[in-house]
Amino acid sequence: MTGRIGSAVVAMLLATSCGGECQSTCRDAVNLELDLPIPIASVTGDTIVVCRNGTCSPPTLLANNATVASGGFCASLAVDDLVTSTTLRISFAIGGTGCPTLELNDGDTYRLAITDASSQIVYDQTSTADYHALHICGVDCQQLFLQLSPTAAAPP
């Protein structure tokens, strides 16, 4: 385990709206975000595994616009290089071409694990969903935004 990412996690639900004045309808959404206090060059060669309710993607190289998928979900990865830090955003597809339609239930679990180029697990965190229900323009939807703490790391 490396010391570049610490040891605890805070999962926080932030409410967001999905439309205004009935110009757009509400859509289900699941997004995870992780801000790492290290430059993007420090994660070169690292891989990410994303899991939902125990179903995990195969290891995927950390790269912008990568797709992480399993038989149970599809998600896209955005990597932002902020010079001295790196932000990872994982957006789950709720349905669509080639992706299963996800049923969103409070208690769903989401896991994010990062392994460095030397096969050491440097980040591993599981969070439980508490979706935010919205009713916009006559449409019900659920949204979840989990801000993961950069200090969560794999146990020694």
Buried b (16+ CB within 10 A) or exposed e, 144-153: bbbbbbbebb
Q: Are strands 29-36 and 132-136 parallel, antiparallel or unpaired?
A: unpaired
Q: 17-21, 28-32, 67-71: lowest mean pLDDT where?
A: 17-21
pLDDT at 99: 83
Q: Is the pTM of this model over 0.85?
A: no
Q: What is the pLDDT of residue 23?
A: 62
Segment 77-83 mean pLDDT: 82
pLDDT at res. 28? 78
- Non-local (6+) Cβ contacts of 29 within 8 A are 16, 18, 91, 92, 94, 141, 142, 143, 144, 145
Q: What is the dihedral of CA 108, 19, 97, 128, to 10 degrees?
A: -10
pLDDT tens digits, 20-29: 456 666 677 8
Phi-psi region of 138 (alpha: psi -120 to 50; beta: other; left: phi over 0): left
pLDDT at residue 49, as a whole number? 92
pLDDT reading at 14 higher than 80 = no
Model confidence pLDDT, tens digit, residues 88-124: 888 888 777 778 888 888 999 999 999 988 888 888 9
